[in-house]
Amino acid sequence: MRKSALFFGTLIILLGAMLLAINLGVVTTAIWSFFWPAILVLLGVWFIAGPYLLKGKVETVERSIPLENGTEAEITFNYGAGMLSVASTLRPQELVGGSFVGGISDEVNRTGGTVNVKLNTPSDMLFPGNWVYGHQGINWNVGLTKEIPLKLYFHTGACEAKLNLADLRVTELVVETGASSTEIQLPQNAGYTRVTIKSGAAAVKINVPQGVAASIRESSGLSGINVDTSRFIQNGHTYQSADYATASNKVDISYEGGVGSVDIK
């Protein structure tokens, strides 16, 4: 049993026991004036000492999902807090593989040549992230196939994400993130890639490889946006490469931001 679950389970038992004692007349309601301050003290001690007590207890899972007869794939990342790294896999005939510190749960469905994969943080986590797992934190290093076209969907929380998609055949990329830091290296030779970024209080850096044209539309709210206008000519809230219409490799980027920032180069 995880120590975090044991700790919070004990608090719930204490609360239930206190309510039962009051209902039975064993103690009076005046005990609340002692109980709640004691709970706050225990919580404070746990928030300070918890990461040190849990250090070194992180589960590491090695997972590999074979490509089999897949001709295209849709892969969804449901990821909370921690560090997420994505790049191309070095293993032939592997659709998804990697090392998952903090554990993983996955769903794989195959329909004809289409493979749908969902990668989730384990459902038994209470307050998932670096805090629960001590200083090691949740750390996923994921490799994806470059043999077939991919649609990638990232739903992330307070994390640091590095997505190196340069060698991948990504046709669609959707990133929805909260208070995070996200770096994205877009595909070098994928033909056409549609990119949608929706962020909250996040810092997002997007690198468009040399030789790849881009059309960029932004609705950034309060966020600061910095686009390399020497490559992408500005027209209001739109930026576009001069050769976008004729380029063999191009990306279409739509960005919606909150109070964060975005750099596109």
Pick from 115, 121, 79: nearest CA to 95: 115
- The answer to whether the CB of 96 falls within 8 A of the CB of 65 is yes
Distance CA 253, CA 265 (A): 12
DSSP string, 111-176: ETTEEEEEEE--TT-SSTTTTTTTTT--EEEEEE-SSS-EEEEEEE-SEEEEEE-TTS-EEEEEEE
Q: Tell me, what's the pLDDT at 189? A: 96
pLDDT interval class at 259 (50, 70, 90)? low
Burial of residue 114 (number of CB atoms within 10 Å: 0-12, 13-18, 19+): middle
pTM for the complete prediction?
0.77
Q: Which amino acid is at 258?
A: G
The strand pair at 181-185 and 203-207 is best described as parallel
Burial of residue 99 (number of CB atoms within 10 Å: 0-12, 13-18, 19+): middle
- Match 């998804």 to its residue by tokens: 96
- The answer to whether the CB of 123 falls within 8 A of the CB of 142 is no
Share of the chain above pLDDT 90, in %: 54
Instruction: Give yes or no for residue 211 having a pLDDT over 70.
Output: yes
The larger pLDDT score, comparing residue 9 to residue 233, is at 233
Instruction: Give yes or no for residue 109 having a pLDDT over 80.
Output: yes
Angle at 175 between CA 171 and CA 178, to 5 degrees: 175
pLDDT interval class at 242 (50, 70, 90)? very high
Distance CA 18, CA 26 (A): 9
Q: Tell me, what's the pLDDT at 119? A: 96
- The answer to whether the CB of 96 falls within 8 A of the CB of 144 is yes
Pick from 176, 259, 182: nearest CA to 224: 259
- Match 């329909």 to its residue by tokens: 111
Instruction: Kindly report, residue by residue over 73-94, the tens digit of the pLDDT.
Output: 999 999 987 899 999 998 989 9
Could you state, in order of their start, the residue ranges of all structural domains in the chain? 3-54, 60-264
